[in-house]
Amino acid sequence: MSRIIVTGAGGFIGHHLVKYLKAKGDYVIGIDIKYPGFERTSADEFYPWDLSSHNCILNDIDEVYHLAADMGGIGYIETNRAVIMRNNALININTLNKSMAKKFLFTSSACVYPQYLQDKPDVMGLKESDAFPADAEPGYGWEKLMMELLCKYYHEDYGIETRIARLHNIYGPLGTYEGGREKSPAALCRKVIEAKGEIEIWGDGNRTRSYCYIDDCIEGLYRLMQSNYRKPINIGSDRMVSINELADMIIKISGKKITKQYDLSKPQGVVGRNADIRKAKEILDWEPKVSLEEGLEKTYRWIEKRLSLAKK
């Protein structure tokens, strides 16, 4: 049995990770500013700490999965850059600086990749080496890239075993689907469920992304932690679809007849983004198993049930 800290344990990925580690028999300590939103935590201990002002100091810890972050969908990260950079820089430094664990895994983001490589819909998959010369996404992306470098330097200067996962659009049940911080799959599921005949798409629908289901993501994080690989590695899918295609998949799941309306004034992010996951396949023997269609079906049905219960 390992003693493991999961920061961000009240969030979407962190909550799933806690359940996964508990199922493997580990002793898990969750830390987050909030408890999970949709079901009770599985953690053996849970501390409701704000890591932007509270040092993460616990003894006899084998591993830290550091997921805590101030983040959300594109609408949130494009309009809260100062807040995000400040909060996440404090969270990251307080956690890594006081970590007494043997291994420390940081969840970075595809937002670290240069905007000049994501300026058209039909883009090549982003390789880990593409991060430099740097031109990260303003605010959130630069903060993630800085923390990647801090992990590298902490290993070089202090010998801490660090791991870095660059996550690409993780989605699935138990994630937020309203309120402004939801990601595009959950937002579109909610819109379709509530639609009376049409839905609003942010932008023209031609921008492209790849999406990775939560169960695949968690398996990738676990394999990375158990590996000896210290450099950043992509955890995501290499299947790229347009936002229009994503919306059409969800509409098909719903069985409804729905038209799409477009609002070009809303935040849209980079034009195209896809993941190159060859390193994950080679080093971790990992690749996504859940198809986008299957993952969207599960996500849609969970949100549909939640919204139905809310009306009762």
Q: Would you name the residues annotated as active-site residues?
A: 140
Contact yes or no for 51/94 (Cβ under 8 A)? yes
Instruction: Indicate the residue type of 43.
Output: A
From CA 222, how far away is CA 217, in angstroms rounded? Answer: 9
Contact yes or no for 204/262 (Cβ under 8 A)? yes
Residue of 126, 85, 71, 84 lying closest to 236 (CA atoms) = 126
Helix (H) / strand (E) element for 218: namely: helix 214-226
Residue of 152, 124, 125, 171 lying closest to 232 (CA atoms) = 152
Cis bond upstream, residue 133 (ω within 30):
yes
What sign results for the dihedral spanned by CA atoms 226, 175, 3, 68?
positive
Q: What is the token pair recorded at 20?
A: 């996964």
